[in-house]
Amino acid sequence: MKSDSIFMQRRLAALLTAAACLASAKSAANSDGLLAFAPVDPVVKSRMVMASTPPAPAAPLVEQAPVTHAVAAPKRDNTARAPSEGEIRTLFNDAVNTALSISAEVRGANYNTEAAEANVDEAKGQRWPQIDVGTRSKSYQFGGGEHRYSDSRPAVTVNMATTLLDFGRTSNTIKSREALHDAARNNVDAQAEDIAWQVSSALIELSKQRQIIRLSQKYVARMNELVEMLDGIVKVDQGRRSELTQARGRLLQAQSSLDTAVSRARDTEITLNRLLGDKKVPLPAATVWNLKPGELTTQLTAIDTHPMIRQAQAETASALADADAARSASFPTVTWNVGKSTGRDELGREQSWETGVNVSWPIFRGGSQRAAELSAARRADASRETIEKQLRDLDNRVRAADQDARSMLERAELYHDLAFESDRIRHDFFDQWYHLGKRTLLDVLSAESDYYGNQVAEATNRFDAYAAIFRSYASAGTLLQWLRKP
């Protein structure tokens, strides 16, 4: 009898210790209102209730059921107001303007434009009279033969040549240079559109990763609570150590997901630092932005004026003008010359001014002129094919981006509803595991993982949809115009 009394006292002490651990775990609720509890054997639980008075709940419980935690329906983060489309455009436009002001690509494109403008002026200068001034020193005669008279004074020669007729060679050269200048200006616009897209996509990616980090931190905290709770239970009941091992494995997976999101966010921040320098962009903290896909018909119409298309068209016009200039070079060239030399003859007489018209006709150049004309014509044909390819590619990009934006927005709403249902499932699984023992800990952990995965899928699809909206404008060549829209 004495040994039975000692055994009962030790058993009661163990039960009181377990009750204290469970009461401590019960008071630790997570940020979502979930209390950290693990299932307890029904027999042990009944003895615990008889041995000690249960502690008061740390949070109001749901009526009609003595549950240990209350789970609210998943709601979007209402702590930050959803920004309007105008606010998003203003925010992104400021960032894009900063990127354009420090972009080496844009500066290089501007320098190429200035160089192309100088080439136009060079070609136009051929229309004006070409004046040359030269001089020579006194010549010395040596060797055998008759020595002619040589003026000992230096002579100055002036010559002016003006092209009267070249069958359009100069004018076609000017047209070619002007087309290249136009192509260079359009290249500046194309570089600006590309920079705007890079900045916008990086900002959206950073916002997405920050949302995933926030969700991952909550998931890690939840797994950490389960691990701490089970660690306390295992100290009383060693037979449940396998459940602790399962919980620790899911905790490591949660930490891995968090580390991955943090790493991607840092990579995006490095990209933004390259584009924006030290400028910090205050991204909206809201989980939902008021962005809608653009008008597809308008975007498809705008493709014809895309900077890349205009650049290719200008390059085609330049190649055609080069072909015309090469063809004109095979015709005669008529020039008017005026010249004078200050040198004197053997009688000391100074030469007078001379003027005349010269005709030069390249009759045979070994086929080089025809080859130059053919080369320029084929470059024009290649540019036309490039334009056709670019038009098809841009059309497909706009359509694909519009489809992605609309489908991903719909998918994000479906994942939001699915997250609501998975939240109820994890609530039910936890109750069935804790109260009835009808679920295993693996079911509870899987339900928690499903809830986290659905939340991440919602954030991913939503922000990928926003990126697709920006991509549709960028593919149409109207991203800067849309961002600067009042």
Least confident of 76-90, 102-116, 184-198, 371-385: 76-90
pLDDT, tens digit, 9 for 90 and up, residues 214-232: 999 999 998 888 888 778 8
Query: Measured between alpha carbons, how far is 190 from 94 in angstroms, rounded to an integer?
Result: 19
User: According to the model, what pLDDT value does residue 403 have?
Assistant: 96
pLDDT at 132 over 70: yes
Query: Measured between alpha carbons, how far is 125 from 207 in angstroms, rounded to an integer?
Result: 55
Average of per-residue pLDDT across 11-23: 42
Q: Would the pTM count as exceeding 0.75?
A: yes
**Listed ranges 73-82, 109-118, 127-136; the one with the highest mean pLDDT:** 109-118
Reported confidence tier of residue 339, pLDDT bands at 50, 70, 90: confident
User: According to the model, what pLDDT value does residue 346 have?
Assistant: 62
Average of per-residue pLDDT across 71-77: 47
pLDDT at 5 over 50: no
pLDDT at 4 over 50: no
Architecture in CATH for domain 72-128+168-330+370-483: Up-down Bundle (1.20)
Average of per-residue pLDDT across 51-72: 34
pLDDT, tens digit, 9 for 90 and up, residues 408-448: 999 999 999 999 999 899 888 877 876 777 777 788 888 88
The answer to whether the CB of 325 falls within 8 A of the CB of 176 is: yes
pLDDT more than 70, % of the chain: 79
User: According to the model, what pLDDT value does residue 183 have?
Assistant: 95
Query: Measured between alpha carbons, how far is 131 from 202 in angstroms, rounded to an integer?
Result: 57
pLDDT, tens digit, 9 for 90 and up, residues 250-285: 899 999 999 999 999 999 999 999 999 988 999 998
Query: Measured between alpha carbons, how far is 244 from 223 in angstroms, rounded to an integer?
Result: 11
Domain extent listing, the chain: 1-70, 72-128+168-330+370-483
pLDDT, tens digit, 9 for 90 and up, residues 373-397: 899 899 999 999 999 999 999 999 9
